[in-house]
Amino acid sequence: MTQLILRTAALCVGGVIAAAAAVAPATAWEPKGQGECIAPSNPGGGWDMTCRTTSAVLQKTGMFKESIYVTNMPGGSGAVAIANVITKRKGEPNLIVAASNALTFTVALGRTPHTYKDIIPIAQIGAEIGGFFVRDDSKYKTITDIVNALKADIKSVSFSGGSAPGGQDHMKAAMFAKAIGVDPTKIVYVPFQGGGEALTSVLGGHTQVGSLDISEATGQLEAGKIRGLAVLSEKRSTKFPNIPTALEQGVKVNYTVWRGFYMAPGTPADAVTWWTDTMKKMVATPEWKAEAAKVGMEPIYLFGDDFAKFVNKDADESRALLKELGFVK
């Protein structure tokens, strides 16, 4: 009799456990295997820095258990990468792609049939200050020297940048030209597949001024190989406070470069949530703050729906800017 009671009790308990398991929520999604971050540029540029810094911090903090490798995919200031992701990488939960204003201009110019509505924006993990940089022995000592040279002969000064014509780095120079009263469509701009190559052009004397971001210029600034003539922001860089703003020098140009990520269309919602939440946790860590400080990244963040709304608005505003500057009709 006692054995029958015990057996019956065990069956009841087992039934309760089985029923509880059947209604229990599934385990929260976590990545399995290697991660990948696509940098839509050659090594040395801002997108490359965004991928490598993020992957290093995620692994160092243990937020991503496996390795995250970086795939450099230059072309069309993000056009090649976004096309690849949309047509060939749909639904991949371990894939993130670096993005910035450079992609916004590619979208705004219609150089890709895709828009931010075709992908899944997940996070802005910081912002950078752009600026103009020259070789240390350059004859241009101040931004006023550049202003005078452009007004005397607009073709006498060449700018290099890591984005296509009409893209992010070109727009910095174009906005500067408009602000000083010269035709922004007539400036000499030499495009490269990333800020690293654009900087090499300046160091080699092939172009006079690098239209770059702080992270791209940091190494050579610290080595004393280049000088910053101006940063395009309301306040000076926290990393290089010795570089004056263009505003301080009488040129009304203000342009901030956001840095962030998107994911492929069709990515499972739980994976998108995991990456969005993880990015939010990452930027709050001491490890991230230390790495961001090294490259001059400013702590300006947006996540999820807020970031998606921001990038779509950014595309609309960029179209208006391109029209105002005379690059589109």
Q: Which residues span the domain enclosing 201? A: 129-255
In a domain, 100, yes or no: yes
Distance from C-alpha of 224 to C-alpha of 218, rounded to nearest angstrom: 10
H-only helix segments in 35-90 = 46-60, 79-88
- Residue 163 pLDDT: 84
* Average model confidence (pLDDT) across the chain: 89
Strands (E), the chain: 35-39, 68-72, 95-100, 120-135, 158-161, 188-191, 209-213, 226-231, 256-263, 302-303
Same-domain status, 288 and 270: yes
- Residue 97 pLDDT: 98
Q: What is the CA radius of gyration of the chain?
A: 24
- Residue 13 pLDDT: 41
The Cβ-side half-sphere exposure at 177, using a 13 Å CA radius, reads: 26
Over range 297-321, report the average pLDDT: 93
The string of DSSP letters for 258-302 reads EEEEEE-TT--HHHHHHHHHHHHHHTTSHHHHHHHHHHT-B---E
* pLDDT, tens digit (0-9, with 9 covering 90-100), for 163-198: 888 888 998 999 999 999 999 999 999 999 888 899
Give how far Cα 84 sits from Cα of 37, 75, 243, 264, Å. Answer: 13, 11, 39, 9
In a domain, 77, yes or no: yes
Same-domain status, 73 and 167: no
The number of folded domains in the chain is 2
Per-residue pLDDT band for 222 (boundaries 50, 70, 90) equals: very high
* pLDDT, tens digit (0-9, with 9 covering 90-100), for 93-151: 999 999 999 999 999 989 999 999 999 999 999 998 899 999 999 999 999 999 999 99
CATH number of the domain within which 88 lies: 3.40.190.150
Last residue of a domain, one of 212, 229, 255: 255
CATH number of the domain within which 190 lies: 3.40.190.10
Same-domain status, 152 and 221: yes
Model confidence pTM above 0.85 = no
Last residue of a domain, one of 255, 275, 292: 255
The Cβ-side half-sphere exposure at 81, using a 13 Å CA radius, reads: 33
CB-based contact 257:153 (threshold 8 Å): no
Last residue of a domain, one of 198, 233, 255: 255
Same-domain status, 292 and 246: no
Q: Is the pLDDT of residue 6 over 60?
A: no
